[in-house]
Homo-oligomer: A and B are copies of this chain.
């Protein structure tokens, strides 16, 4: 038993969709969340800058007594995970590998779709990870750069012609390619589940990277005998800019209200 907290970070608030899954799958765990809202978005940054930001984020989370870190940011998970793991003596889970394993497990047609930010797609990390698990599975990737701003501006519901038009343009080539599993490779995308499911149809399984990371975290903590004792876990939320704006968006990502947010000067870490 280990009641120390789990650290979770993302470039902004999107990672709260992963926190929501962790709290649902591991309700006894304490969570420290850091959203780097002063430097969001990470998608589109160079590898050097991403690595610098990710190291500062980890350094901040380790200023607490934590037992594991979940990198809820797809861009960091596909760009900086080996470096972070080599530099830290605790489990660091990304959102890429667990989702890829799930995709390989469920695809019958051996054709998996991936939607993500331009930077995540550009690295090819999802496709490489899937190829390493099963080289017979083909990955068809599509960058969806407008999904994050649309979600952040509340345009995420079926019936909104703006998000539906954009989503159809992004997703129809994937549908036409005959995929039967689609990785939502950005933490914002679970909010678009209804819009995406409507376009892709019931024969395509949508894979929530936050949920898969949460299951992987549960397996890891169990194997290390580090699950928390039975109780109601608590969560602390930190952001590097405008913590006063955190609440509105955050409650949509997390689907619960956030009591208070602590401001962090991340450049100091």
Show the binding face of A for B, using Cβ within 8 Å.
Answer: 38-39, 44-46, 49, 145-146, 149-150, 152-153, 155, 161-162, 165-166, 241-242, 245
Closest-CB distance, A159 to chain B (whole angstroms): 12
Q: Which of the residues B145, B165, B245 comes within 8 Å of A161, measured between beta carbons?
A: B165
Residues of chain B contacted by A242 (CB below 8 angstroms): 44-46
A46 to B162, CA, bound (A): 29
A155 to B162, CA, bound (A): 11
Total copies of this chain within the assembly: 2
Q: Which of the residues B39, B46, B161 comes within 8 Å of A39, measured between beta carbons?
A: B39
Chain A interface, DSSP helix/strand/loop, else mixed = loop
Residues of chain B contacted by A245 (CB below 8 angstroms): 44
With both beta carbons as reference points, the residue of chain B lying nearest to A244 in the complex is identified as B46
* Given contact pairs A39-B39, A145-B149, A149-B149, A241 touches B165 in the complex (Cβ within 8 A): no
- A-B contact list, 15 entries, CB within 8 Å: A38-B45, A38-B49, A39-B39, A44-B241, A44-B245, A46-B242, A49-B241, A145-B152, A146-B150, A146-B155, A149-B149, A161-B161, A162-B162, A162-B165, A162-B166
- Inter-chain contact B161/A153, CB cutoff 8 Å: no
Q: A38-B45, A46-B241, A161-B161 are in contact. List 14 more A-B contacts (CB 8 A).
A: A38-B46, A39-B39, A44-B241, A44-B242, A44-B245, A45-B241, A46-B242, A145-B152, A145-B153, A146-B149, A146-B153, A149-B149, A161-B162, A162-B166
With both beta carbons as reference points, the residue of chain B lying nearest to A145 in the complex is identified as B153
